[in-house]
Amino acid sequence: MNGRETQNGHEPLNGDYPEAGPSASAASTETADLTEAQLEALLFVAERPLSRREIAAAAGLDRASVDARLGDLEVSLRARGIRLIADGDRVELVTAPEAGALIARYVGSEAVRLSPASLETLAIIAYRQPVTKAAIERIRGVDSDYTVRTLVHRRLATELGRAEAPGRPILYGTGFDFLERFGLISLDDLPALDSEVAGRLEVETGRRGSDDSLDLDGDGQLD
Amino acid sequence: MSNSSTATVVIDRGRAPEGSTHVRLEEFDGPLGLLLALIEARRLDVLTVPLAALADAYLDALASLPGERIGNLSAFVAIASQLILIKSRAMLPRRQEAPSEDLAEDAPDPEAELRARLVLYRAYRDAGVSLQAHALATVGLFRREPSTAQAAGLAGARPADLEPVPVTMLAGALGSLVQLAPPPEPPPEIVPRVVTIAERAAIIREALQGAGVLVLQDLLRGVRDRVVVAVTFLAMLELVKRREIVVEQAEPWGPIHARPTPSFGTPRAEVEELG
């Protein structure tokens, strides 16, 4: 299963957009009709995350066209005070990170503050998602049931599904709330991991293509 | 599953829970965190420090952990045992023969293994710290939430971190309001007022004297006293009764026209009797 793309919005909204400009304008001349401006207006009015399916239904378009238009919009908004973020199938408009402090003052909101235990647990979930609690505990070396449940309760972590492993353990990941509370446009904006660990993580996730998060001996077991 | 953010949940779980450590034993949530903190407190490099040298420090720290951490003790003890194993191996002279190489391949070096776990743990611990710093710097991304924006707008967009409004400000506001308000009018004196039909009839007569026709509404224009209006109307009816005038009204709510009759103005003063 390719959990990374579909479940946690790690992938860019549309794989290859820097080049999407010309092809996008070509697409907009087709019968399918959903301009970037229309899409932006729709998301503006919705005031809640919309699924790509919903957008496609509203516009009478196929998913591919919606994805392409979302990609165009995402690129256009990079220079604006509003950004487009994605959580799997759903997308929403949020304020730009650089406007965060101003908006927070206006609405009377404060930055999220977590204990060191919660932070390291959340970091593991964010970087390694989808990940089981057992994998988290192997890295932390300590029972993390309470910490994980607290994160889920605060909606900073979400249950993505269950691993096809004995006991069908819950797979954890992050969603809109994590991105919003931590001021991240996408998971690509996560702070860089220690390079050595990042390298190993890459290897692991590559390997995981075949047996997803079931490397029950893989995570804590560093050879 | 009930809320996990409160301490009560800890009790619910019915065994000495991992949650009990959150009754907050500073940073050392787990054994790796404790060991790493010991290393960093000594300004040593995780990648090179001989872990065997830390076994004593770790055991000392472990012994000083408060009792309520007992729920997690096994995790701490597991690392302690690994440290002791590492230390004991370090103290034994290494055999250089081939068999030991076989052994090494079968069983990975516990020190390297623990070190790798420390490095991995440290990466996520530090990533968590960076995440927190990022969250504090950007505060967050905000989606459109009408209720939130509206509430903020109604509150005058007052930043949450401002000092509370001093009470004297409220008192001052009240004071200025008091000054702006006009002085209260003296209570109206209660004076018996007499409006007589004769008086009003005289006015109607007077009005009719000049003009041949009178519209009652015109006569009463500007009069706001309902008693005066009512008495004037009664006076008009009285004049009609005395056949001094005739009155007609073309339609409901329309103007009431009064015209003198030939007997108008007969100098009889009986009207006054009715006053």
Domain extents in chain B: 7-138, 197-274
Q: Between B121, B144, B157, which is nearest A106 by CB? A: B157
Residues B157-186, mean pLDDT to the nearest whole number: 74
The three-state secondary structure class of B37 is helix
Residues of chain A with CATH 1.10.10.10: 3-104, 116-210
Please give the CATH number for the structural domain made up of B197-274.
Answer: 1.10.10.580
**Which residue in chain B has the smallest CA separation from A112?**
B135
Q: Between B123, B132, B137, which is nearest A197 by CB? A: B123
Give B102 to chain A, closest Cα distance, Å.
Answer: 16
Q: Does B123 touch chain A (CB under 8 A)?
A: yes
pLDDT at position B18: 40
Residues A35-58, mean pLDDT to the nearest whole number: 89
Chain A residues touching B105 at Cβ < 8 A: none
- Mutation choice for A interface testing from B12, B51, B138, B147 by most A CBs within 10 A: B138
Distance CA A116, CA A199 (A): 24
Confidence of residue B197 (pLDDT cuts 50, 70, 90): confident
Question: Which residues 186-245 of B are in CB contact (within 8 Å) with A?
Answer: none
b/e map A162-199, b = 16+ CB within 10 Å: ebebeeebbbbbbbbbbbbbbbbbbbeebbebbeebee
Chain A residues touching B82 at Cβ < 8 A: none
Cβ A133 vs Cβ A172: under 8 Å: yes
Residue with tokens 């003009």: B211
Give A78 to chain B, closest Cα distance, Å.
Answer: 14
At A73-123, the pLDDT tens digits run 999 999 999 999 988 889 999 999 999 889 888 888 888 899 888 999 999
Does A119 contact B129 at a Cβ distance shorter than 8 Å?
Answer: yes
What residues does B249 pair with on adjacent strands?
A: B256
Residue with tokens 């108008």: B264
Cβ B235 vs Cβ B201: under 8 Å: yes
Residues A40-63, mean pLDDT to the nearest whole number: 88
Confidence of residue A151 (pLDDT cuts 50, 70, 90): very high
At B80-95, the pLDDT tens digits run 888 888 888 888 776 5
At B115-164, the pLDDT tens digits run 888 888 988 988 999 999 999 988 888 888 767 666 666 666 555 666 77
Confidence of residue B268 (pLDDT cuts 50, 70, 90): low
Q: Does B134 touch chain A (CB under 8 A)?
A: yes
Share the mean pLDDT of chain B. Answer: 74
Distance CA B102, CA B89 (A): 16
Q: What is the pTM of this model?
A: 0.58
Tell me whether 0.85 is exceeded by the ipTM.
Answer: no
Q: Does B248 touch chain A (CB under 8 A)?
A: no
Chain B residues touching A150 at Cβ < 8 A: 4-5
Confidence of residue B181 (pLDDT cuts 50, 70, 90): low
Does B132 contact A119 at a Cβ distance shorter than 8 Å?
Answer: yes
Q: Could you tell me the two tokens for B263?
A: 């007997």
Distance CA B203, CA B209 (A): 10
Distance CA A213, CA A219 (A): 9
- CATH topology for A3-104? Arc Repressor Mutant, subunit A (1.10.10)
Both ends of chain B: CA-CA distance in Å? 88
Does B139 contact A154 at a Cβ distance shorter than 8 Å?
Answer: no
pLDDT at position B96: 54
Q: How many residues does chain A have?
A: 223
- CATH topology for A116-210? Arc Repressor Mutant, subunit A (1.10.10)
Question: Which residues 10-69 of B are in CB contact (within 8 Å) with A?
Answer: 10, 17-19, 21-22, 24, 27, 29-33
At B27-63, the pLDDT tens digits run 567 888 888 888 888 888 888 888 888 888 888 887 7
Does A127 contact B127 at a Cβ distance shorter than 8 Å?
Answer: yes
